[in-house]
Amino acid sequence: MTATGELTIGELAARSGVAPSALRFYEQRGLISAARMESGHRRYTRPTIRRVAFIVFAQRVGLTLAEIGEELERLPTDRVPTSDDWAQLTGTWEARIDERIDELQRLRDSLTGCIGCGCLSLERCALVNPDDRLGRVGPGPRLWVGQAGSIGGPRPR
């Protein structure tokens, strides 16, 4: 740590557990900021550690970097965010986390069924997707996006 209490990129990386390349990327995206020394070296304030922790947590919840940027814009810029500031920011995530839990439980519950049946054909599976009915519903992993044909949901005809 420098005499002014600022952190170098290496110190921030070590303290946050995030690679310097990711920190530079976050800075490019406007999620964190650094002062530049005459030498061109970056210097981060100590509150940046919390911002990086927030970014990592928000990514694990499933927020995109654009969404994370929008959330971070709601934090005060004239002072260090308080616990209440952080709680207000993350308070709306409960539904999103619950959706993620449901998705992971569906994945866990279907692993042995899909992989265990032995056919290995997602296009023509006679058990889950006969005649590729899910292909008519739309592209992508229909069984995971909570649309028609999802596990436990209505099957397409």
At residue 2, the pLDDT reads: 59
- In whole angstroms, give the CA distance from residue 137 to residue 155: 10
DSSP string, the chain: --TTS-B-HHHHHHHHT--HHHHHHHHHTTSS--EE-TTS-EEB-THHHHHHHHHHHHHHHT--HHHHHHHHHTS-SSS---HHHHHHHHGGGHHHHHHHHHHHHHHHHHHHHHHHTS---TTT-TTTSGGGHHHHH-SS-TTTTTSTT-TTSPPP-
pLDDT (tens digit per residue) in 93-135: 888 888 888 888 877 877 766 655 555 555 556 666 777 777 7
Q: Specify whether the CB–CB gap between 42 and 36 falls below 8 A.
A: yes
pLDDT above 70 (res 47): yes
pLDDT above 50 (res 156): no
Q: Is pLDDT larger for residue 134 or for residue 16? A: 16
Q: Poorest-confidence range of 27-36, 47-56, 130-139?
A: 130-139
pLDDT above 80 (res 46): yes
Q: Poorest-confidence range of 1-10, 71-80, 96-105, 141-150?
A: 141-150
> How confident is the prediction for the chain on average, in pLDDT?
79
Q: What are phi and psi of 91, to 5 degrees?
A: -60, -25
Domains of the chain are 9-81 (1.10.1660.10), 93-157 (no CATH)
Tokens for 85, please give them: 């500031």
pLDDT above 70 (res 49): yes
At residue 116, the pLDDT reads: 56
